[in-house]
A and B are shown apart, each in its own frame.
Chain A
Amino acid sequence: MPAEPALSRLDILESEALHLIREVAAEFDRPTLLFSGGKDSAVLLRLAEKAFFPAPIPFPVLHVDTGHNFEEVLDFRDRRAAELGVRLVVASVQDSIDAGRVIEQEGRGASRNRAQTVTLLDAIGEHRFDALFGGARRDEERARAKERMLSFRDAFGQWDPRNQRPELWNLYNGLIGPGENVRAFPLSNWTERDIWTYIDQDGVELPGLYFAHRRKVFERDGMYLADNPFVHRDPDEPLVEKSVRFRTIGDMTCTGAVPSTASTVAEVIAEIAATKVTERGQTRADDRASAASMEDRKREGYF
């Protein structure tokens, strides 16, 4: 028999992701998909669309809105949900602050990132979600390299890295008790480059922030932060206009832009191939707090 071409890595990664999405949809009563409008969740949403095609996605999508998000991203979020006919649930950090559930940080470096955990856990309780799909990738950060594809969380939303369920073959143990939930990560084995190659190959639409545009930014700790009303800018941090794009998109207060002229997916891929810095290292101010900041947030219930 003539040798046939191997299945491509994206074929294999896509098949693995569809398998996990269908397992969770089959075994859980109230799943939801975390959709922030960022590139990973845009790919995740596309995979969910594919997993049930031609039927619609059989669960709602959830966005934890810090109140400090880019307007373009929120527009994109709303439009994609409407196009797919999925119900969009928005959990608002501002509501949590107003209700006294969290105290807003203040001053330089203040961010609502940590507050998201409270809002997320409240939304899980309110909607009784038992499984949450997330777009996290193991290549992003070393605590995430330890994550399971289907990750058990106790009734307090906590992750215990020393007590994870073994995952063998393509089998996932989805049994949970009342109040407990799982986080499902179909993109676990994808790298940043896989995500972009898939976006290219599959024509996945993204918010324009991912491509080069001119924007007023200021420099802090070697990162460019977008001028915005939510971040405390010091007098020695002057605004400059630059051609930039975003490599990750999160809260405006902690997402850095990178100088770039890449205006198409192909140009972005070329830029990533040449980069010398990791995605989170380059653009996430909150990960710099300590070597274990992601691990600590995950233990508390964050993704």
Chain B
Amino acid sequence: MSLPTDTEPEAFAPADSLLRFATAGAVDDGKSTLIGRLLHDSRSLLADQLEMLELAGKERGDDVLDLAMVTDGLRAEREQGITIDVAHRYFETARRAFIIADTPGHAQYTRNMVTGASTADLAIVLVDARNGLTEQSRRHAVLAGMLRVPRLVLAVNKMDLVGYDQGVFDEITAEFARFTGELELRDVAAIPISALRGDNVVHRSAETPWYDGPALLEHLEQVHIDEDRSSGDFRLPVQYVIRAQGQDYRGYAGQISGGRVCEGDEVLHLPSGLRTRVTSVDTADGALAEARAPQSVSVRLADEIDVGRGDLLCVPDAAPAAATELSVRVCWMSAKSVLRPGARLLLKHTTRTVKALVAEVRHQVDVTTLRRDPAAELGLNDIGEVGLRLAQPVFCDPYERNRLTGGGLLIDEATRATVGAVMITEAR
């Protein structure tokens, strides 16, 4: 049982930036193997983890290390050889730290892909070079686009099984480009890899002399991410009011969900519509001259306004809508119920939870073709367009403008389960 070994690890230099990425791919596209390979070749697996893999392999009579075993954490997953839920993995290189949202490939786990993609800076869509683009690959690209994951990597895997043929790779990437033209994906890279053999995963491969781009890990290390988080207009959903007795302190705490704020900035308070000025942007480590998304801070204001949890502070000349009627895209996540007109649910949006009525189900989106089909209801893993009426306003942006002020959860009040993910398209 052996794997190609690497050179000694680089000396420890703390990686200072963080990239969150989600992996998507159909069941046998080799997603778990890819993650195992990334961890193994970047020397992120330690001796006891390798030993465990070897033991597991021996028990099953395998003669090569099954890198996929690294990621399957639950008993049922190991027994069935499948991934049943999102798992998070961590590794780092000298350049950057990474959080992987490892999302299952089965069609019935679309909701998990949506979950993993919601916080991702980048998504890797894995395709088996022998099969080309399947319905699942299209589905994953559509979902990544819909969730506004800023960057995408098309990883054409199992290149070893097609003789490292450039023609195969070119054909798949061309077809993908045609398909994604309508998805508004901003930044797509295509990389030919073999997760099993390690080609172009951590190290560039000699087997693909026709490919002059980076190996997957190099790409992940170099992608620029920070501007995604702090671009856009300033928004601070108020999460908690901090009052310190005897110190006359009153600060409005929250995580900045868009843009940036400086001491002295004029801000607008919603729902009151009153303007005031930020006198201080505080943290426990001292006041900041400027803070930006996604920092958690607490701000003090020049005027005494009644501000509480669920309110929002924002830049005055580009305020979000205060809306009680929403057009939304919903990914329905409940196996026990369906989304129907007339359904009463809770919408959790930023720090505000309001009652919501499903006014209409407009249509269902076919997530492999983007076609809109008429639909009366949405079932598990369906994505559709829905009108919601709210008992109280939420302060929101279209999802395409801001993932945090444009996204929401639907909660079933009776079972308390999270039953849907909401992306706001229009607000009134």
Please give the residue numbers on chain A whose beta carbons come within 8 Å of chain B beta carbons, in ascending order. 4-9, 11-16, 18-19, 22-23, 25-26, 49-56, 138-139, 142-146, 161-162, 164-171, 173, 175-177, 188-189, 191, 193-194, 197, 269-270, 273-278, 281-282, 291-292, 295
Chain B residues whose C-beta falls within 8 Å of the C-beta of A275 in the assembled complex? 46
Chain B residues whose C-beta falls within 8 Å of the C-beta of A53 in the assembled complex? 242, 282-284
- The listed residue (B56, B111, B245, B296) touching A22 by CB distance below 8 A is B296
User: B294 an interface residue at 8 Å Cβ cutoff?
Assistant: yes
User: B239 an interface residue at 8 Å Cβ cutoff?
Assistant: yes
A276 to B15, CA, bound (A): 19
User: B408 an interface residue at 8 Å Cβ cutoff?
Assistant: yes
Asked whether B239 lies within 8 Å of A55 as measured between CB atoms, the reply is: no
Which among B26-34, B84-92, B149-157, B188-196 touches the partner chain?
A: B84-92
A193 to B90, CA, bound (A): 11
Asked whether A278 lies within 8 Å of B46 as measured between CB atoms, the reply is: yes
Asked whether B240 lies within 8 Å of A22 as measured between CB atoms, the reply is: yes
Asked whether A55 lies within 8 Å of B244 as measured between CB atoms, the reply is: yes
Asked whether A142 lies within 8 Å of B73 as measured between CB atoms, the reply is: yes
Q: Give how many A-B residue pairs fall within 8 Å (CB-CB).
A: 185
- The listed residue (B18, B84, B118, B244) touching A13 by CB distance below 8 A is B18
Asked whether B48 lies within 8 Å of A281 as measured between CB atoms, the reply is: yes
- The listed residue (A56, A138, A169) touching B88 by CB distance below 8 A is A138
> Do A49 and B74 form a contact, CB below 8 Å, given A6-B16, A12-B294, A139-B90?
no
Asked whether A6 lies within 8 Å of B74 as measured between CB atoms, the reply is: no
A108 to B416, CA, bound (A): 45
User: B279 an interface residue at 8 Å Cβ cutoff?
Assistant: no
A25 to B240, CA, bound (A): 8
> Do A191 and B90 form a contact, CB below 8 Å, given A13-B18, A26-B351, A166-B115?
yes
A13 to B98, CA, bound (A): 12
User: B124 an interface residue at 8 Å Cβ cutoff?
Assistant: no
A139 to B71, CA, bound (A): 11
A269 to B13, CA, bound (A): 11
A16 to B254, CA, bound (A): 10
Identify which of residues 1-35 in chain B touch chain A, using a CB-to-CB cut-off of 8 Å: 12, 14-18
What residue in chain A is nearest B73 (Cβ atoms)? A142
Asked whether B284 lies within 8 Å of A276 as measured between CB atoms, the reply is: no
User: B136 an interface residue at 8 Å Cβ cutoff?
Assistant: no
Identify which of residues 219-270 in chain B touch chain A, using a CB-to-CB cut-off of 8 Å: 225-226, 229, 239-240, 242-245, 247, 249, 253-255, 257
Asked whether B294 lies within 8 Å of A173 as measured between CB atoms, the reply is: no
Asked whether B88 lies within 8 Å of A52 as measured between CB atoms, the reply is: no
Closest 3 A-B residue pairs measured CB to CB? A281-B48, A273-B12, A142-B73
Q: Mark B100-117, 1 if CB is under 8 A from A, else 0.
A: 000000000001101100
Asked whether A189 lies within 8 Å of B99 as measured between CB atoms, the reply is: yes
Asked whether A270 lies within 8 Å of B296 as measured between CB atoms, the reply is: no
Interface size on B, residues (CB 8 A): 75
Query: What's the minimum C-beta distance from A265 to chain B, rounded to whole angstroms?
Result: 13
Asked whether A26 lies within 8 Å of B239 as measured between CB atoms, the reply is: yes
Asked whether A175 lies within 8 Å of B12 as measured between CB atoms, the reply is: no
- The listed residue (B74, B88, B114, B249) touching A168 by CB distance below 8 A is B114
A139 to B99, CA, bound (A): 10
Q: List 8 A-B contacts (CB under 8 A).
A: A22-B240, A142-B71, A162-B84, A164-B85, A173-B417, A276-B47, A291-B52, A292-B75
Chain A residues whose C-beta falls within 8 Å of the C-beta of B349 in the assembled complex? 171
> Do A14 and B309 form a contact, CB below 8 Å, given A143-B74, A273-B12, A295-B74?
no
Q: Mark B387-428, 1 if CB is under 8 A from A, else 0.
A: 000000000000000011001110101001110010000000
- The listed residue (B243, B309, B417) touching A26 by CB distance below 8 A is B309
Asked whether B46 lies within 8 Å of A281 as measured between CB atoms, the reply is: yes
Asked whether A169 lies within 8 Å of B47 as measured between CB atoms, the reply is: no
Chain A residues whose C-beta falls within 8 Å of the C-beta of B88 in the assembled complex? 138, 145, 188-189
Asked whether A15 lies within 8 Å of B348 as measured between CB atoms, the reply is: no
A275 to B47, CA, bound (A): 9
Asked whether B112 lies within 8 Å of A166 as measured between CB atoms, the reply is: yes
Asked whether B47 lies within 8 Å of A197 as measured between CB atoms, the reply is: no
